[in-house]
Amino acid sequence: MKRILIGLIVAAVLGAGGWFGFNLYAKHRATAEVEAAFERIRSSGGKASHGKIDFDLPTRTVTIEDIAIAPGEQAQIKIAGIKGTDVRLIDDIRFSADSIDVTGFEVALNQVGPTKRNRAR
């Protein structure tokens, strides 16, 4: 009886450790994927930053806060938060989600009027 009880306790500890370990791994992987996307923007000459990244494994929900993107000479974008529910990776650079909620979306244009290409000569 004592061996069975010890075996059950060990199984419970290993199960809990596995669950929390996998949850931590999933959060790390989600953070790494978001960082890689922002790094692609930075490597092309733009500016990109974000705040807290959170991932909830049971609902597969990714939340990214305080996003600011200024890709080169294009419009500057600020987003208070993005929340994707039931997120799945399709391949290395694309993902799918059942719903995506965006809050606090701002776009700032640097130039008003015709672009350099459209100006009359």
Domain residues of the chain, as ranges?
2-108
Q: Quick one: pLDDT at residue 61?
A: 93
CA-to-CA dists, residue 104 to 34, 42, 54, 75, angstroms:
19, 22, 18, 16
User: H helices within 44-103, ranges in order?
Assistant: none
121 pLDDT exceeds 60? no
Cα–Cα distance for residue pair 119/121, rounded to 1 Å: 6
Cα–Cα distance for residue pair 54/111, rounded to 1 Å: 35
Q: What is the mean pLDDT of residues 76-104?
A: 90
Cα–Cα distance for residue pair 110/47, rounded to 1 Å: 15
